[in-house]
Amino acid sequence: MRTYMPAPHRSFLAHVESISNIRAYASSSTAAPEVKETYNAAVDELSKLRDIHIQIVARYIISPSRRQGATKNAGMNLAVASTNGTTEMLQGTGGTALLPFLRQSRDETKETALGR
């Protein structure tokens, strides 16, 4: 994802990574139990956001692309532009396979939760 981000955004993320690691802190023995609970709550909420994102993509991109098909005369909208002529291989903005990428992102987010 970072390869197509604006350079200042990439720099910001690199800087944040270099000065902190929230997961490492939350999992350390010196962190209060509330820190771990709060960290896991944040991971849960981000996972819910990713679930909602998948639902929105399904409703507003995948369903419309299947209904109208990707024809030359269908007009240019996100559903048509992302199909590459087929509804089987919908692509995200980074050129990835749309649903597998979103599901993988959601699953990887869930995996960052600390042992409960």
Give a three-class secondary structure readout of 56-115.
HHHHHHHHHHHHHCCCHHHCCCHHHHCCCCCCCCCECCCCCEHHHHHHHHHHHHHHCCCC
More confident residue, 70 or 11: 11
Non-local (6+) Cβ contacts of 25 within 8 A are: 31, 35
Residue 57 has pLDDT above 70, yes or no: yes
Which pLDDT band holds residue 77 (cuts at 50, 70, 90)?
A: low
How does the average pLDDT of the chain come out, rounded? 83
Q: What is the mean pLDDT of residues 58-75?
A: 69
Residue 30 has pLDDT above 70, yes or no: yes
Q: What is the mean pLDDT of residues 74-89?
A: 53
Which pLDDT band holds residue 26 (cuts at 50, 70, 90)?
A: very high
Q: What does the pLDDT read at residue 67?
A: 74
Residue 2 has pLDDT above 70, yes or no: yes
C-alpha separations of 93 from 4, 14, 24, 62, 90 in Å: 9, 22, 31, 14, 10
